[in-house]
Structure formats: C-alpha cells, structure tokens
C-alpha cells in the first residue's frame, strides 16, 4: 500500500520529498507562524503512535522551480472503527505552509493540487470523509477556506492560551485566584527543574513514571523515542518535580517552535494528585517559554459538554485545571468534507 500511495504523490508532485533540511528551511521562512503540528518530528510521532495497526508517512516538501517553497504534514493510518484515515495529527488534516517569498498564484496552484492529491489518496484508501482544521489562532487560512466551500459540516473547539507578551506579574494576576498560593507552595516545597537537554537515564525515569501513573503502557515505545529526538533537536523540553528524597514525583513535556509552545503530556504520582505539582510545572513552563522569547503558550483544549465529541468527566476536570492559567480562550475551526469519486 505504501508504494501505491507514494506513487500517487509522485504523480501530483514529481519533485516532492521529505528532505529534513529543506523542511526546516521552509519553516524558518514562512508567511505565517508554523505550529508545532508542522514539525516533521511531530508527524513522525503520530506515525509511530499508529504503527500498531498501520501507518504511512505521506508528508512532503513542495518545490517550485527546484526551490523548496512549502511543506505538507500528512499521514495515512488505519483506525479500528473507520478503516483508513488521512490526517496530519491522527485526527485531521492541517494546512500546508509556504515560503514567505512565494507568489500568491503559485501558492494557490499548489493548494489546489494538494486538494486533488487528497481526493486521489482517499480513493485509493476507500476513504469517504476527511476532517480539516484551521491551526492558526486568529485568522482563517486560504487552505481552510478552500475546503469550507465543500464542507458537509463546520464546528468549533475552544483552546486555552497564555499571552507571553505580558509581564510575568500580569500573567500571574490573570491566574485563578486560588492558584497563586498553590503555585508558590509547589515551587517552595519541591525541586522543579527545566531540562532543555535530557540524559537517557532521566528520560527513561520520566517514561516509567508515565507508565506507572497510567497503569500501563498507553503508547508504543517508538513514540517515546520520537519525543526524546524532539528534545535532542531543541523542539521540546521536560520539566521535572523531585521530592526531598530525590524521587521523581511529577513531570511535564512541552513542544515548541517559532513563537509558540504547547503542553504535550504530563504525569504526577497518583497519591499526590491533591498537591500542587501541576501548578508548579505550569508556572515553570510559562517562565521558560517567556524567557525564550515565545509569544503564545497553548495549555490545551477547553472541553465543553456540548462539544462535537463529548468530553469525559476526567477531560472536563483537566480542562478546568488548565483554564486557571489561561489569559485567552480562542476558537479553532474544523470542517468535515465528504469525499466523492467515481
């Protein structure tokens, strides 16, 4: 199947490839700020996450006159319930991103050809529906608008942001009132450390803590390898919490690129869930991202009972916790397109 899919891509984009150097060069010269979902390593992570059933990385660098001008994060993976799915992040397809100097008409042509490619890939995989998301916070991409004209359904989700252009004092003033003493307590009582590089030994301890808290392995070991690689290339950081006996009791993993960062995952000793470990970790993440010059930190989704995919009580509880740190709540637009072909 992989060969057939790559052949379809080659028919549409004969020069396309997944050259990592050219991928990075495009991300550093884009018209809009890339998201962490545009990182090639993030796609590798999602491919690894879905390898158990079947997954193929279809991501590509796009060229014009032999020059790398755009990137398209894309993968195909099998889902137990729905068969094959085309996505960028295991769920939906995000917008391609292009070099700042690319002519508007060339961008439009490439987007149209990518649309044709998605139809052909869907036909090969017998996919009848695709979901798309507009990743940008404050405006709709031309890619999203192109698909909106064909959409069967459009819906929104809500996301929690911290505006890092504010001073730390102003950010703290916007915290939920009860959080301020809890943050101070967490930072005072435990050793909270930020790792922009991490040893294999410490990373393994982080993985084992996550496994212990979750009650078993929740993702393939290959996904942890990809997370370690993202730290090695300075696309992720780890924040750890140790007690007075030097026991790892909490950890958070964060991914970043350009001027934005996101909270990827966390794990905290179950017997300490009522303690402010997470409060201290979030404060350290905010401080670190601000000091590194980022503009936005996305803590996660604000789940609502009326969401298209109903949230569990656990998700609602976690969402409530995260909301206590947010300075902004923004919407992200999604759409569903029926794929029809002869």
Per-domain boundaries in the chain? 2-150, 160-331
* Alpha carbons 254 and 194: distance in angstroms, whole number: 10
* Buried/exposed code over 7-22 (b: 16+ C-beta within 10 A; e: otherwise): ebbeeebeebbeeeeb
Share of the chain above pLDDT 70, in %: 99
The H or E element spanning position 287 is: helix 277-291
CATH number corresponding to 2-150: 3.40.630
Q: What is the mean pLDDT of residues 64-85?
A: 92
Q: What are 217-248's pLDDT values in tens digits?
A: 878 899 999 999 999 999 999 999 999 999 99
Q: Contact 251/239 with Cβ under 8 angstroms?
A: yes
Min mean pLDDT across 201-205, 256-260, 296-300 is at 256-260
Q: What is the DSSP string of 136-196?
A: -SSS--HHHHHHHTT-SEEEEEEEEEEETTS-HHHHHHTS-TTHHHHHHHHHHHSEEEEES
* Alpha carbons 56 and 77: distance in angstroms, whole number: 6
Report the SS3 class of residue 272. helix
Check if CATH label 3.40.50.2000 holds for domain 160-331.
Answer: no
How confident is the model at residue 1, as a pLDDT?
Answer: 82
pTM of the model: 0.92
Q: What is the mean pLDDT of residues 182-209?
A: 96
CA 235 from chain center: how many Å?
12
* Alpha carbons 305 and 158: distance in angstroms, whole number: 12
Q: Of 182, 139, 200, nearest to 331 (Cα)?
A: 139
* Alpha carbons 5 and 13: distance in angstroms, whole number: 12
Q: What is the mean pLDDT of residues 19-34?
A: 89
Mean pLDDT of the chain: 94
* Alpha carbons 67 and 1: distance in angstroms, whole number: 29
Q: Contact 71/17 with Cβ under 8 angstroms?
A: no
The answer to whether domain 2-150 and domain 160-331 are alike in fold is yes
Q: What is the mean pLDDT of residues 292-314?
A: 93
**What pLDDT band is residue 342 in, cutting at 50, 70 and 90?**
low
How confident is the model at residue 212, as a pLDDT?
Answer: 92
Does 319 score more than 70 pLDDT? yes
Q: What are 248-272's pLDDT values in tens digits?
A: 999 999 999 988 999 999 999 989 8
Q: Using CB atoms within 10 Å of the CB of residue 55, give its burial: 0 to 12 exposed, 13 to 18 middle, 19+ buried.
A: buried
């Amino acid at each position: 199947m992989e060969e057939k899919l790559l052949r379809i891509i080659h028919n549409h984009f004969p020069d396309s490839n997944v050259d990592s150097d050219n991928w990075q060069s495009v991300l550093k010269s884009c018209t809009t700020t890339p998201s962490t979902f545009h990182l090639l390593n993030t796609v590798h992570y999602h491919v690894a996450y879905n390898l158990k059933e079947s997954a193929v990385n279809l991501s590509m660098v796009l060229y014009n006159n032999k020059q790398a001008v755009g990137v398209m994060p894309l993968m195909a993976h099998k889902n137990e319930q729905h068969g094959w799915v085309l996505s960028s992040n295991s769920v939906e397809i995000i917008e391609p991103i292009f070099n700042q100097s690319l002519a508007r008409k060339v961008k439009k042509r490439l987007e149209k050809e990518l649309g044709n490619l998605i139809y052909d890939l869907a036909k090969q995989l017998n996919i009848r529906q695709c979901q798309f998301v507009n990743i940008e916070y404050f405006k709709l991409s031309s890619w999203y608008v192109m698909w909106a004209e064909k959409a069967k359904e459009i819906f929104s989700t809500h996301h929690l942001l911290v505006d890092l252009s504010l001073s730390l004092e102003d950010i703290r003033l916007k915290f939920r009132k009860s959080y301020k003493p809890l943050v101070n307590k967490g930072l005072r009582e435990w050793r909270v450390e930020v790792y922009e590089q991490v040893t294999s030994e410490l990373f393994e301890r982080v993985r084992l803590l996550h496994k212990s808290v979750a009650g078993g392995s929740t993702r393939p070991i290959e996904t942890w390898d990809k997370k370690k690689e993202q730290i090695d290339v300075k696309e992720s950081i780890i924040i750890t919490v140790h007690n007075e006996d030097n026991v790892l009791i909490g950890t958070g993993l964060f991914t970043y690129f350009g001027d934005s960062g996101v909270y990827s995952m966390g794990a905290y000793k179950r017997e300490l869930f009522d303690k402010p470990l997470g409060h201290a970790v979030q404060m350290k993440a905010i401080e670190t991202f601000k000091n590194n010059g980022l503009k936005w930190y996305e803590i996660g989704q604000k789940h609502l009972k009326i969401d298209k995919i109903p949230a569990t009580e656990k998700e609602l509880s976690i969402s409530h916790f995260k909301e206590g740190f947010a300075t902004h709540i923004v919407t992200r637009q999604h759409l569903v397109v029926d794929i029809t072909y002869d």
